[in-house]
Structure 1
Amino acid sequence: MTSRRPFPADSGEFHDPLENYDPKEYDDPLEEALATQPASAIQSTPYVGVSPDTTIEQAVKKLSGLQVACLLVEEDEKLVGVFSDRDLLDKIALEYEAKKHLPVRDFMTSNPNFVYDTDSAAAVLTVMAVHGFRHVPVINLDHKIVGIASPYRITSFLRSYFAG
């Protein structure tokens, strides 16, 4: 039989490995903001939401009339999809007359990538960069829509942290 060395927990004392942890110090205010500010610090409202039953024609009118590039598709205040100008161009444009009476649910991006409002601001940029999205939905921990991060809104956030 081999003997085992006692783990710290076996000795009856707990030693928190983070008790002597010093938080990272940042030289750059932008780097610090991206790491420490939550996604909710990026303006994400207003946003335009539609139901999955909204027709393509109605969705196009909203996109055009409100001059937005993206609609959040929601049921019971929860995100179920995204319908963007890309969806319109890639999936509908050449057959618009035949498809304009169909529901958005048939053409939206289902189960879209999103960030929680408590995630870091850097998480928004990561989703954009890794997945190639221009718009990232922001939801809360109850999965209710908070808003949407767009290139303009992110640029405004970043600009506020540039030195000088």
Structure 2
Amino acid sequence: MGKVKDILQNKGRNVFSVDPETMVYKAIELMCEKNIGGLMIVEGESLVGIFTERDYARKLILKGKSSKDTPIKELMTRKPFTVTPENSIEDCMSLMTAKHIRHLPVEENGVLVGLISIGDVVKFVIEEQKNIIEHLEGYISR
């Protein structure tokens, strides 16, 4: 099975982030503009948290807070689970399933270098299985 670096090679290493003082409304605008479900919260060069649509729904809406008056640091998930480019896709699937998470920041030597989502993992697995099937079909038909 492949590794996180294989997903990043195809997807790219673009990471959208904001600082902890950013108002939730601005973060949601960025997520909408970029059509993404999660943002990294970065202070300087350090990953300090993650903010997802789930955080918005459960920590803002249900608690009656205002997105224009609430800094993201009040809602973000602190110390998110991370992986490295060398982690296997299988490791990521296990972690995402066990912890009920959809996004995994990718760090290398303490530096944020990417982000993978459950969609990225599923897409990779489907593509890998497709390649295996094509290889086996070619082998059988020889």
CA displacement at 1:71 relative to structure 2: 0.3
CA displacement at 1:96 relative to structure 2: 4.2
Q: Does residue 123 of structure 2 align to residue 156 of structure 1?
A: yes
Q: Does residue 73 of structure 2 align to residue 108 of structure 1?
A: no
Q: Residue type matched to 1:121 in 2?
A: I
Q: TM-score, normalised by structure 1?
A: 0.71
5+ unaligned residues in a row in structure 2: which ranges? 134-142
Q: What is the RMSD computed on CA atoms of the aligned residues?
A: 1.6
**Higher strand proportion (structure 1 or 2):** 2
SS at structure 2 position matched to 1:115: coil
Runs of 4+ that moved beyond 6 A: none
Query: 2:96, 2:118 within 8 Å by CA — same for their partners in 1?
Result: no
Q: Distance in 2 between matches of 1:121 and 1:77?
A: 26
Query: 1:41, 1:121 within 8 Å by CA — same for their partners in 2?
Result: no
Aligned residues: 127
Q: TM-score, normalised by structure 2?
A: 0.81
Correspondent of 2:56 among 84, 88, 113:
88
Q: Does residue 87 of structure 2 align to residue 119 of structure 1?
A: yes
> Which structure is larger by alpha-carbon Rg, 1 or 2?
1
5+ unaligned residues in a row in structure 1: which ranges? 1-32
Q: Residue type matched to 1:109 in 2?
A: T
